[in-house]
């Protein structure tokens, strides 16, 4: 089995540990965040040709975020 990349590992920790245990957010909030990240991964794959296994923090910049927000509207 492949080791999860840093982005995937940290995202999992954010959704499964930080949000519910440190921030105390509701299950619905976690579902909403999770769905948004699913959309983001789909956007990266379809529009930026970046697979989920290659996704990293180096991909993030202003243009990417603006492009994603335009795409989901």
pLDDT at residue number 3: 55
pTM of the model: 0.84
CA dihedral 26, 27, 32, 35 (to 10 degrees): 160
Max Cα separation, the chain? 36
pLDDT at residue number 57: 87
> pLDDT tens digits for 21-69?
999 999 999 999 999 999 999 999 999 999 988 988 888 999 999 999 9
Domain ranges for the chain: 6-72
């Amino acid at each position: 089995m492949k080791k999860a990349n840093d982005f995937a590992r940290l995202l999992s920790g954010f959704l499964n540990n930080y949000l519910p245990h440190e921030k105390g957010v509701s299950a619905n909030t976690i579902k909403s965040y999770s769905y948004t990240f699913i959309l983001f991964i789909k956007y990266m794959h379809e529009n930026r040709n970046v697979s989920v296994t290659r996704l990293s923090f180096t991909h993030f910049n202003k243009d990417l975020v603006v492009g994603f927000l335009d795409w989901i509207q």
